[in-house]
Amino acid sequence: MKKIISVVGARPNFIKIAPVNKVLKTYSSRVKHIICHTGQHFDEKMSKVFFEDLELPKPDYNLEVHGGSHAEQTAKIMVEFEKVLLEEKPDLVIVVGDVNSTLACSITASKLHIKVAHIEAGLRSFDREMPEEINRILTDVISDFLFVTEDSGLENLDHEGIDKSKVHFVGNVMIDSLYHYLPKIEKSNILKELKLTSKDYILFTFHRPRNVDSKIYLTELVDSINQLARRSTCVFPVHPRTANKLQEFGLNTKLHSNIIITEPIGYIDFMCLVKSARLIITDSGGIQEESTYLGVQCITVRDNTERPVTVKVGTNQLIGRKLSKVINAANKILDNDLKKGNIPELWDGKAAERIIDILSKKLDF
């Protein structure tokens, strides 16, 4: 019997591990699959609701590392995860994405000579001021199996000198979840609950430190959202980081009455909001991909993207952080000047199957 530990820590991780867990269930006579939650995101709205929506079992381990600086969080997760590894002695650790838990657990496993698989390897924003970029680069360099979602990932890993035999282009597990849950997403009542009409609202999400941590920029961002709210109904599910900053800067009361402000929303309802939006304006990583898959217009308020296929092939537009440009781009879309898009290669709901198929051959299970 082989043993695999999958690590989850933050909201996007739950969505990425759910399809892997589903496929590994079909191997249950040969593989014991253990889920370890580091506790990075721990509350009801950022964690618990995802376990319910995505039918994930209660984690076998919860390291309960909440908050702290990057160094504190990474170090605490390493200390706690090492205990789990020494107890369980797994054959493989699976990490996903680019959060601190991804880096902390891959280093810990690698130093104990336990093989590491990184799902969503090779993505690069080429912006080392983003903590995620540091996490991605370091995780990739110590991983034994690198599973890539798009062409750019293959090129980046090649440039960084990663041995090609470790790299596998498999598609996108985030899209596996979307593909699998689409029938449920289509039945969500969220539009009714929020009194929204399909294709008649703009959906906003913002949480990147660069966009929400500065008072000057966040004030301008709120002004820009308000400007668009004069033209269209808006929905703004607010990330906890952003909620704190809006409050700290006294901006939480400054949002236009045409903006429906909510707490973070569970996966099924949120994806229904994404699918039915006329336009999404975001700085999220995952939402660039989900909107591309669903063919929904997306404006990314960042200077770079680690997911260039969403711009090259999909409906995403990388507009930058200049807010006058964001408003112009949004107005164009509201005037029906739309960007055509296609679904990127291998984003077909079968990435987790490909990953487990490769691992089963390599690890012999």
Distance CA 173, CA 355 (A): 9
Cβ proximity to ligand UDP: between 12 and 19 the closer is: 12
Question: In this structure, what is the dihedral angle of CA atoms 262, 270, 202, 284, given to the nearest 10 degrees?
Answer: 90
Q: Which residue is nearest to ligand UDP (CB)?
A: 286
The distance of closest approach from Cβ of residue 268 to ligand UDP in the complex, given in angstroms and rounded to an integer, is 8
**Alpha helices of 277-339 — where are they, by DSSP H?**
286-294, 309-312, 323-334
Strands 31-37, 115-121: pairing kind: unpaired
**Closest approach of ligand UDP to the CB of residue 46, in Å:** 8
Q: Which is nearer to ligand UDP, 28 or 189 (CB)?
A: 189
Q: Which is nearer to ligand UDP, 205 or 224 (CB)?
A: 205
C-alpha 302, offset from chain centre: 16
d(CA 217, CA 320): 13
Residue (266 or 320) nearer to ligand UDP, CB? 266
CA distance 111 to 142: 9
Q: Of 36 and 265, which has the nearer Cβ to ligand UDP?
A: 265
Minimum CB separation of residue 286 from ligand UDP in Å reads: 2
Taking the complex as a whole, how short is the minimal distance between the CB of residue 259 and ligand UDP, in angstroms?
15
Minimum CB separation from ligand UDP for residue 261, in Å? Answer: 12
Identify each DSSP E strand in the chain by its residue range.
2-8, 31-37, 61-62, 92-96, 115-121, 145-148, 167-169, 201-205, 233-237, 259-262, 279-282, 298-300, 316-318
Q: What is the identity of the amino acid at 192? A: K
Q: Which residues bind ligand UDP (CB under 6 A)?
A: 11-12, 15, 205, 207, 237, 264-265, 267, 270, 284-287, 290
Which residue out of 33, 41, 207, 239 is catalytically annotated?
Answer: 207
Q: Rounded to whole angstroms, how far apart are CA atoms 17 and 9?
A: 11
111 vs 107, 314, 320, 356, 357, CA distance in Å?
6, 39, 39, 24, 26
Report yes or no: 74 and 68 within 8 Å, Cβ to Cβ: no
Nearer to ligand UDP, 59 or 264 (CB): 264
**What is the smallest separation between the CB atom of 284 and ligand UDP, expressed in angstroms?**
3
Which residues pair with residue 237 across a beta bridge?
262
Instruction: Indicate if 239 belongs to the active site.
Output: no
Q: Judge whether 291 and 300 are in contact, CB under 8 Å.
A: no
Closer residue to ligand UDP, CB minimum distance, 153 or 285: 285
How many residues are there in the chain? Answer: 365
Burial class (CB in 10 A: 0-12, 13-18, 19+), 358: middle
Kindly state the smallest distance separating residue 205's Cβ from ligand UDP, in Å: 6
Which residues are part of the catalytic machinery?
Answer: 207
